[in-house]
């Protein structure tokens, strides 16, 4: 038998698909003011602390404030200019931060109407993010369920949703997750030639006993076993990760497990609970000083809670020794 050498092996065919240049973590949440930028900036800082080359990108087009969370100065070149100027390279946008391993692409410049980008502009941004080489890329998303926001969310390997214990935040977060689910479903139903079947099931939900996405997929698998299972596997990869922010009591801290359980049962695939973050006045106090909490107040309980989340996001074999 012929013995090969590992150095001669072409890895590309083994992968079967194009791999992104980094592990992409999207932080969304549906509602404004729940702490998406705080969670994105904190995770970016901790991942950089753990020794990973990290790029934080502000994709809250039209409402960018990640640079403020990171205490970075206003920049004239950011994601807005990249969208408007086709000649600009992605690498030209990157600006340094106070943390050597952490880089930032901000959206701080004032460009009117930037929130309404078209599909071409969106795919150019997505393709640049996908090709960017780093250990981690953190996407700070906007509120709402705009197609751009949902598409940026879906392109990530880690789809983190920030929720606070307020009913309005919970409702908006669920709506956001449903929007992401159906966006992905619509994308693959054509490919798998299941569109007519799915439309028929959705138009006659009561008749088929469909009350949620989990029921929909179950009925679809009963009808079309092979394609239905394929679709279920694709949707199962969504694997939402939940962060509960601004928890004030022990009961609220534990609410994250309930949210996870409800999502599991509603969508029919496993969702993860990354952890809870306590409400801490130090967050807004440090923000007013244009400083990040992790620099201004290291005694905060949030320090350990955020570090735990960052470590969960890093696969065990990726963990590095940090001195």
Partner 1 sequence: MAERSGNQTYYELLEIPQSAGPMDIYNAYQRARKTYSPSSPALYSMFSPEEASQLMSLIEEAYQTLSHQGRRKEYDQKIGLGATPTPPKPAKSNESPGKNKADDAWVGQVRTVPKRDELPKGFARTRYSVYEVKPDLESEIQEAQEMDGPFLQKIRLYKGVKIEQICDELRMTKTSLVALESNDLDALPVPVFTRGFIVGIARVLGLDGKKTADAYMKFFKANKK
Q: Is 204 in the site for partner 1 (CB under 8 A)?
A: no
The number of beta carbons lying within 10 Å of the beta carbon of residue 150 is 22
Q: Is 157 in the site for partner 1 (CB under 8 A)?
A: no
Q: How many CA within 13 A on the CB side of residue 193? A: 3
Query: Could you give the maximum distance between any two Cα atoms of the chain, in Å?
Result: 69
51-88 burial: b if 16+ Cβ within 10 Å, else e: bbbbbbbbbbbeebbbbbbbbbeebebbbbbbbeeeee
- Choosing from 88, 155, 221, 253, the residue that interacts with partner 1 (CB under 8 A) is 221
Please state, in angstroms and rounded to a whole number, the distance separating the CA atoms of residues 244 and 76: 34
Please state, in angstroms and rounded to a whole number, the distance separating the CA atoms of residues 321 and 81: 38
- Choosing from 190, 250, 288, 317, the residue that interacts with partner 1 (CB under 8 A) is 317
Nearest approach in angstroms of CB 198 to partner 1 is 18
Nearest approach in angstroms of CB 261 to partner 1 is 5
Q: Is 5 in the site for partner 1 (CB under 8 A)?
A: yes
- Choosing from 81, 215, 278, 280, the residue that interacts with partner 1 (CB under 8 A) is 215
Within 8 A by CB and 6+ apart from 274, the residues are 160, 241, 242, 243, 309, 312, 313
Chain length of the chain: 323
DSSP 259-283: HHHHHHHHHSS--EEEEEEE--HHH
Handedness of CA 5, 7, 12, 18 (dihedral sign): positive
Which stretch in 25-33, 44-52, 100-108, 226-234 sits in contact with partner 1 by CB under 8 A?
Answer: 226-234
Kindly determine how many residues on this chain lie close enough to bind partner 1 according to the rule CB under 8 A: 43
Please say whether the beta carbons of 37 and 150 come within 8 A.
no
Which stretch in 23-31, 40-48, 213-221, 283-291 sits in contact with partner 1 by CB under 8 A?
Answer: 213-221
Name residues contacting partner 1, limited to 262-291 (CB under 8 A). Answer: 262-266
Which stretch in 59-67, 77-85, 181-189, 261-269 sits in contact with partner 1 by CB under 8 A?
Answer: 261-269
Please say whether the beta carbons of 136 and 52 come within 8 A.
yes
- Choosing from 95, 212, 239, 295, the residue that interacts with partner 1 (CB under 8 A) is 212
| Pick 261 or 285: Cβ nearer partner 1 | 261
| DSSP run (H or E) holding 240 | strand 240-247
- Choosing from 9, 74, 84, 319, the residue that interacts with partner 1 (CB under 8 A) is 9
Alpha-carbon dihedral 142, 144, 146, 148, rounded to 10 degrees = 20
Nearest approach in angstroms of CB 251 to partner 1 is 9
Within 8 A by CB and 6+ apart from 252, the residues are 165, 244, 276
- Choosing from 66, 129, 231, 255, the residue that interacts with partner 1 (CB under 8 A) is 255
Q: Is 46 in the site for partner 1 (CB under 8 A)?
A: no
Nearest approach in angstroms of CB 228 to partner 1 is 9
Q: Which residues bind partner 1 (CB under 8 A)?
A: 1-6, 8-9, 11, 14-16, 165, 167, 170-171, 174-175, 209, 211-212, 214-215, 218, 221, 225-226, 229, 233, 254-255, 257-259, 261-266, 315-317
């Amino acid at each position: 038998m012929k013995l090969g050498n590992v150095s001669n092996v072409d890895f590309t065919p083994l992968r079967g698909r194009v791999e992104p240049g980094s592990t992409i973590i999207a932080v969304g949440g549906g509602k404004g003011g729940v702490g998406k930028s705080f969670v994105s900036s904190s995770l970016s800082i901790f991942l950089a602390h753990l020794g990973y080359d990290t790029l934080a990108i502000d994709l809250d087009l039209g409402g960018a404030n990640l640079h403020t969370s990171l205490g970075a100065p206003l920049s004239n070149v950011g994601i807005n200019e990249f969208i408007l100027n086709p000649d600009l390279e992605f690498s030209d946008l990157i600006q340094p931060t106070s943390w050597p391993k952490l880089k930032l692409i901000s959206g701080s410049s004032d460009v009117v109407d930037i929130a309404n980008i078209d599909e071409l502009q969106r795919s150019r941004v997505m393709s640049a993010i996908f090709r960017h080489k780093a250990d981690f890329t953190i996407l700070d998303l906007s509120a709402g369920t705009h197609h751009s926001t949902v598409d940026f969310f879906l392109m990530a390997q880690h789809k983190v949703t920030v929720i606070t214990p307020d009913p309005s935040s919970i409702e908006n977060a669920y709506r956001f997750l449903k929007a992401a689910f159906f966006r992905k479903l619509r994308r693959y139903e054509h490919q798998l030639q299941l569109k007519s079947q799915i439309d028929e099931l959705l138009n006659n939900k009561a008749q088929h006993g469909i009350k949620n996405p989990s029921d929909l997929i179950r009925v679809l698998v009963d009808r079309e076993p092979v394609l239905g299972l394929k679709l279920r596997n694709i949707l199962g990869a969504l694997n939402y990760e939940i962060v509960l922010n601004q928890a004030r009591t022990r009961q609220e801290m534990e609410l994250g497990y309930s949210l996870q359980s409800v999502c599991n049962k509603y969508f029919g695939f496993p969702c993860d609970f990354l952890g809870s973050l306590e409400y801490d006045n130090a967050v807004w106090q440090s923000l007013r000083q244009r400083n990040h909490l992790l620099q201004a107040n290291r005694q905060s309980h949030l320090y350990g809670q955020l570090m735990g989340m960052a470590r969960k996001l890093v696969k065990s074999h990726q963990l590095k020794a940090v001195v």
